[in-house]
């Protein structure tokens, strides 16, 4: 086969001609194909990997890297097995941009496979990639997109690279005007935040938070969705971190995500974030109420798909457990009793427990109001009207002892059921 003969030739011109032809074949195939497998079985891997080291012939470097990039798209294991990664990493320092960019693309395809991500890191890809992202002033947009995507792949998995190494590169491109670059950087930060406590604190101490909160208002989901997940991770039930988010203006942005045109999955992620902010600290829950989040939550609890109502109602329940009596009365006025009652029949024990907790907190406030007016607990009647009493009564037959005891306590205390 002349193509393979040329590949094994000692003549540079024949090697280059063969690499160009193989590159054309692989690009034309595009996906896993018998012909591509045949080429691999015929022994193209070793020569192509060897060509990556032809320092005196950058054009051959380039076309060999092109071939390997195509192969890495569906068989990255072959590049790992043939020791291509180490040679590709060396090409990241090439003074020929077209060679460097093709090497990045090949590494990106390999690192995009989670099973090979650690191998790529161990081969030393991170440092030259970060140098490119922090030091190059003439880097074009397509290269920047590819480099930040590669960094994103390298941050995925445990443990992520040290934030101390990456902070400058992430900070520089967190201000990018390109949605794709910005989205890649935000996803990388999201992965870093899921690492060790040191990496987590590194993001907090880097003063990224104001910029991340600002990006909640970004029009592209590719940007604000990973930011939303990152913010949820950062609050982690910590009073100071939650307050930082609030001080930076997170609550109005979250409210906009609830009431805007976001799809249901984005709204679901927003509910989780709100629940994290409102779950533990009363003064911060109060700020969430003042940011007008409650009417949006109640509306969605009554007018959205059943499979995400659980998250909404848990957020409402968290609010009831963290605000003053006056704010409980405000929540009732907004209509929060009905959604809490509706989900008492759902199969999820966590949601049932949250609903019971919320209703109990409301009834406690009702008792306080009853003492003032020497009247009845008006919230008992509202729960009855929402068909909540019969649902609470039915929970006496629930399989969970915890749910049974909570339901029985409420019935004994507020309806004198024995």
pLDDT tens digits, one per residue of 215-245: 988 988 888 888 888 888 887 757 777 888 8
**Does 406 map to a domain?**
no
Taking the C-alpha atoms of residue 273 and residue 295, their distance in angstroms, rounded to an integer, is 17
- DSSP SS3 for 29: helix
- Provide the domain limits for residue 198: 125-239
Q: Which of 59, 88, 120 is the last residue of a domain?
A: 120
Write out pLDDT tens, residues 109-164.
Answer: 999 999 999 999 999 999 999 999 998 677 889 999 999 999 999 999 888 888 88
Backbone angles phi, psi at 161, to 5 degrees: -60, 160
Are both 155 and 66 inside the same structural domain?
Answer: no
Supply the CATH number for residue 91's domain: 1.25.10.10
Are both 24 and 57 inside the same structural domain?
Answer: yes
User: What pLDDT, on the 0 to 100 scale, is given for residue 383?
Assistant: 95
Instruction: Give the tokens for residue 260.
Output: 């805007």
Closest by CA to 7, choosing from 58, 62, 55, 45, is: 45
Q: Are 101 and 143 in contact (CB under 8 A)?
A: yes
**pLDDT at position 249 over 70:** yes
**Does 390 map to a domain?**
no
* Residue 189, burial from CB neighbour count under 10 angstroms (0-12, 13-18, 19+): buried
**Does 137 map to a domain?**
yes
Closest by CA to 131, choosing from 96, 92, 97, 98, is: 92
CB atoms within 10 A of CB 15: 23
Are both 6 and 113 inside the same structural domain?
Answer: yes
Count of structural domains, the chain: 3
Are both 308 and 332 inside the same structural domain?
Answer: yes
Q: What is the pTM of this model?
A: 0.78
* Better pLDDT: 258 or 249: 249
The DSSP code for 239 is H
Are both 352 and 255 inside the same structural domain?
Answer: yes
**Does 300 map to a domain?**
yes
**Does 140 map to a domain?**
yes
**Does 301 map to a domain?**
yes
Are both 202 and 141 inside the same structural domain?
Answer: yes
The mean pLDDT value for 88-96 works out to 93
CA distances from 288 to 249, 252, 300, 316, 356 (A): 11, 9, 16, 11, 22
**pLDDT at position 34 over 50:** no
**Does 362 map to a domain?**
yes
């Amino acid at each position: 086969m002349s193509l393979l003969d040329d590949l094994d030739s000692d003549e540079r011109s024949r090697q280059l001609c063969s690499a160009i032809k193989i590159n054309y074949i692989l690009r034309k195939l595009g996906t896993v194909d018998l012909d591509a497998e045949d080429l691999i079985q015929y022994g193209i891997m070793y020569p192509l990997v060897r060509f990556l080291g032809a320092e005196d012939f950058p054009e051959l470097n380039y076309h060999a890297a092109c071939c390997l990039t195509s192969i890495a798209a569906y068989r990255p294991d072959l590049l790992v097995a043939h020791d291509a990664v180490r040679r590709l990493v060396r090409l990241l320092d090439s003074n020929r941009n077209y060679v460097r960019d093709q090497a990045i693309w090949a590494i990106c395809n390999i690192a995009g496979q989670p099973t090979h991500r650690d191998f790529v890191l161990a081969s030393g890809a991170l440092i030259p990639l970060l140098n490119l992202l922090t030091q190059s002033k003439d880097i074009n947009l397509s290269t920047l997109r590819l480099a930040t995507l590669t960094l994103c792949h390298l941050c995925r998995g445990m443990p992520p690279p040290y934030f101390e190494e990456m902070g400058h590169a992430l900070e520089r491109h967190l201000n990018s005007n390109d949605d794709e670059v910005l989205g890649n950087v935000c996803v990388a930060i999201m992965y870093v935040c899921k690492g060790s406590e040191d990496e987590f604190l590194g993001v907090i101490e880097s003063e990224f938070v104001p910029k991340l909160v600002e990006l909640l208002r970004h029009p592209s989901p590719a940007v604000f969705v990973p930011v939303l997940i990152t913010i949820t991770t950062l609050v982690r039930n910590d009073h100071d971190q939650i307050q930082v988010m609030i001080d930076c203006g997170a609550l109005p942005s979250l409210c906009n995500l609830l009431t805007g045109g976001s799809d249901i999955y984005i709204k679901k992620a927003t509910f989780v974030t709100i629940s994290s902010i409102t779950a533990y600290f009363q003064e911060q829950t109060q700020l969430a109420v003042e940011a007008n989040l409650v009417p949006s939550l109640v509306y969605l609890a009554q007018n959205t798909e059943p499979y995400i109502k659980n998250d909404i109602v848990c957020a409402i329940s968290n609010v009831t457990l963290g605000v003053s009596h006056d704010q409980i009365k405000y929540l009732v006025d907004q209509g929060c009793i009905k959604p809490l009652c509706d989900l008492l029949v759902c199969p999820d024990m966590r949601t049932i427990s949250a609903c019971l907790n919320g209703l109990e907190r409301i009834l406690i406030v009702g008792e306080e109001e009853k003492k003032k007016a020497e009247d009845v607990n008006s919230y008992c009647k509202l729960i009855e009207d929402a068909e909540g009493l019969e649902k609470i009564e039915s929970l006496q037959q629930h399989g969970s002892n915890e749910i049974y005891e909570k339901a029985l306590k409420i019935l004994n205390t507020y309806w004198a059921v024995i």
